Amino acid sequence: MSHPGTLVWLARHESRLAWRDWLAMMTAGGRWRTRPVALTCLIVLVALHLFALAVVGRYAGIRDPDKATLITLTGCVLMSWSLMVSQALEAVTRAFYTRADLDLILSSPVAARKVFVVRMATMALSITGMSLLVAAPAINVLALRGGAHWLVGYGAVVALGASAAAAALVLAVALFRMIGPRRTRLIAQIVAAVIGAAFVIGVQIVAILSADTKLTGTLLSRYALLGSDAVLALAPDTDSLAWWPARAVLGDLDALAAVLAGGLAILIAAIVVVSRNFADHVIVATGAAQAAPQRAHAAHTFRLAPPKRMLRRKEWLLLRRDPWLLSQTLMQLLYLAPPALLLWRGFGNRNEAATLIVPVLVMAAGQLAGGLAWLTISGEDAPDLIATAPVKTSQIVQAKIEAVLGAIMLAFSPLLLALALVSAWPAAVAAIGVLTAASAATTIQLWFRAQARRSHFRRRQTSSRVATIAEAFSSIAWAATAALAAAGSMVAVIPGTVGLIVLVCTRKLSPRGAAAAG
């Protein structure tokens, strides 16, 4: 039994909140039903293990890795670590700016530092826990096929999670001190997105810029560069300390002990240092988040427009001013950088690789449209005002759809135009694909619309698992259709049909479809 106010007591409280949060995410906010959730978890677990078997199963026999293997593995570790830092940085930024229970905590007689130490540790645990869940199928498959030494990989993931959380804490506080509370919220999101995508995008960009046509041709193979002769020549010898994280993953106990001790030591040091002033930073940040920015604009001039245009204008204004939109969409947009670069490179020599860009654009458009559609359709902060306005419901819905598709076209037009200059056919296919994927994602959001606060955007996936999965499958199907159509293959009809079937099934599963059927 722990005493109130102690670290253990606070840790129990935080763990309970984190558990219920996770549970709500898994059950999509619905009531806890043990059997269906357990069955779903089991099916997902089996599917992930089968996927891991197909992807990493053949590497189970590696015992004495050569330099090329160590380079590739270190690349994977770096990519995973950068993603963990990105997630952790977003979590720390939210801890700064989300008021939630801070009033209660800061007004209680419990030492604020103690609370934040526990909160930071919980955040590190949560990042590590999620990473363990993601890595578990691969580690289990490798252990089953190659031996128990692969289980050491779990320790390596813990070390990575701890060091990633530490890096995020230090980075967030450094940003806060350097650029102040108001700018940190925006800049931290950009930094998180850039860090999360940096490694993969960096590797792809280097591959594109290299003169190696083999690498450029295998743009979508993220690790093509890592296996190149140039990287092999530049990399340190196999006994270098730089390979310890990779060796820890491969089951080397000495390397694991060092990496784990290092990761945990860095985390503890970061928590001890950062927690000293964390409460002060949080007070300043929440104050900045609450305070309305001062404006010294000239007089605002009203412009009359038809209600539909007023609605579109309002949606675009709110999207532009959304403080968390960037963190949810920037990474998707950053992944468009390599295709853009490839276009630029291909412009000179009419490279047929332009066709490769089409599915990337279509996929990104579908995913981005899903997010924007949720914000404009479900995330309406004044639903009563809109519902009581003398405007037909159909006009309101139309305006919102137009706002989403307009934003998508604005984001993708430069790339589509550049693509058109390189090659007309892939550009036409990409334009149709972008519109189709965006329309499909918007339609799914319309079918599953449920009133929510705009600030709950990050949690939109939890409101409907079906909508989230359908959106992903729909985007994949339209991306595949566009890819095959751009290549001139009639087989494009197959994924296109799958895309339509996904939409039909989603409609039937949606609350509106069920109501219409009932």
Partner 1 sequence: MIPTEPTPSPIEPALAIRGLVKCFDRPAVDGLDLTVRKGEFYSLLGPNGAGKTTTLRMVAGLLRPDAGTILIHGIDALADPVAAKSCVAWISDEPMIYDKLTPLEYLEFVAGLWGIEAGVSQARAHELIDWLGLGAQAMQRCEGFSKGTRQKVALAGALVHDPSLIILDEPLTGLDAGSARQVKSVLRERVAQGGTVIMTTHILEVAERMADRIGVIAAGRLIAQGTLAELRDQAGRGATSLEDTFLALVAEQAAAA
Residues that bind partner 1 (CB under 8 A): 289-297, 300-307, 309-311, 313-314, 317-318, 321-322, 381-392, 454
377: CB partners within 8 A, 6+ apart: 400, 404, 442, 445, 446, 449
Q: Output 253-262 pairs: Cβ under 8 A, ≥24 positions apart.
A: 253/152, 256/152, 256/155, 256/156, 256/159, 259/155, 259/156, 259/159, 260/155, 260/156, 260/158, 260/159, 262/159, 262/163
The least CB distance from residue 409 to partner 1, in Å, is 23
Q: What's the rounded Cα separation, in Å, for the pair 263 and 155?
A: 10
The least CB distance from residue 290 to partner 1, in Å, is 4
Return the number of the residue (211 or 304) whose C-beta is nearest partner 1.
304
The least CB distance from residue 387 to partner 1, in Å, is 5
Return the number of the residue (308 or 345) whose C-beta is nearest partner 1.
308
Return the number of the residue (132 or 283) whose C-beta is nearest partner 1.
283
The least CB distance from residue 384 to partner 1, in Å, is 5
What residue ranges in 371-488 does DSSP mark as E strands? none
What residue ranges in 165-282 does DSSP mark as E strands? none
Please count the other Cβ atoms lying within 10 Å of the Cβ belonging to residue 507. 17
Q: What's the rounded Cα separation, in Å, for the pair 224 and 157?
A: 24
Return the number of the residue (148 or 385) whose C-beta is nearest partner 1.
385
The least CB distance from residue 316 to partner 1, in Å, is 11
The least CB distance from residue 278 to partner 1, in Å, is 23
* Amino acid (1-letter code) at residue 37: V
Return the number of the residue (36 or 306) whose C-beta is nearest partner 1.
306
The least CB distance from residue 97 to partner 1, in Å, is 12
* Amino acid (1-letter code) at residue 379: G
User: Both ends of the chain: CA-CA distance in Å?
Assistant: 52
Q: Could you give the 3-state DSSP secondary structure of residue 350? A: coil
Return the number of the residue (168 or 403) whose C-beta is nearest partner 1.
403
327: CB partners within 8 A, 6+ apart: 90, 189, 192, 193, 458
Q: What's the rounded Cα separation, in Å, for the pair 119 and 467?
A: 32
Return the number of the residue (269 or 291) whose C-beta is nearest partner 1.
291
